[in-house]
Amino acid sequence: MKDSRIAADGLVLLGCGKMGSAMLAGWLKRGLPPTSVWVTDPAPSDWLQGQGVHLNAELPDAPALVLVAVKPQMMAEALPTLREMGNADTVFVSVAAGTPISYFETVLGADTPVVRAMPNTPAAISRGITAIVGNAAAGARALDEAETLLRAAGEVVRLEDEAQIDAVTGVSGSGPAYVFHLMETMADAGEAQGLPRDLALQLAKATVAGAGALAMEAEEDPAQLRRNVTSPNGTTQAALEVLMDARNGFPPLLKRAVAAATERSRELSRG
């Protein structure tokens, strides 16, 4: 990232909460000079103040990229302050939930390159996955720059259409909470079978983390990995007969959960 247009022309980070801080830490670790970064944040953390970036200072006239990481309720106040950067070469990348590309085009101008991104919270340890989609003005260059930047937070995938963002929100955006709840309920179930709470939670967390790591490394898909550990008439099969029940098991439950998150995302985008 040292020799990129971002390093040369500068990066503006509008908002630097947990997600913004996680991404900034990743960029700096990958070699982006702190002097190439301008951060606008009304309540900067102690960590941010010690990074050597331009903090709440006058912004460059034409930075290479602006990452919009403010909360949706702050968008109407914060975004218009950058209107002069619109309709030019500056690429706007938004990780703000529920804010469609059309909003940016209305505020900044229809010819503004805009990339909408949906990350998830494992970005904080560079193990997230982010889906991106751009408007007509963005083109291949803007998407490439956004992907380069967002890879600091983990994997990046490109969508064919902005409408897919809502389903991405339902699967990966909200997905970490589903997995955390799985850990909780596994620990509860282990405790109900006589295990101490701390041990049950340790077993649940390590099992979910290990299974996830195996799924990422293995050549087989998750369905095959499941079959690999399921002996006929064994303990795993007994559990899976409950979990895979067509009426009350994981399949219908997760479909309803993802559908609910997806629909809520659509509602937020409509305002």
Residue ranges of the annotated binding site are: 14-19, 56, 69-72
As annotated, the binding site for NADP(+) includes 14-19, 69-72
Q: What are the structure tokens assigned to 224, written together?
A: 């095959």
Residue 179 in tokens: 């997995």
Helix axes of 139-150 and 18-29: crossing angle, nearest 10 degrees: 90
Q: Which residue is listed with tokens 């439950």? A: 253
Q: How far is CA 97 from CA 70, 119, 122, 267, in A?
A: 9, 9, 16, 11
Cα separations (Å) of 113 from 1, 132, 169, 176? Answer: 20, 13, 22, 30
Bridge partners, 65 (sequence order): 11, 91
User: Which two three-digit tokens encode residue 25?
Assistant: 């830490």
User: 């929100």: which residue's tokens?
Assistant: 169
> Could you tell me which of 50, 57, 12, 6 has the C-alpha nearest to residue 31?
6
Contact 208, 183 (CB under 8 A): yes
Q: Looking at this protein, which amino acid is placed at residue 251?
A: P
Place of tokens 């998150």: 261
Closest CA to 130 of 122, 139, 138: 122
d(CA 207, CA 165): 30
Q: Which residues are annotated as a binding site for NADPH?
A: 56
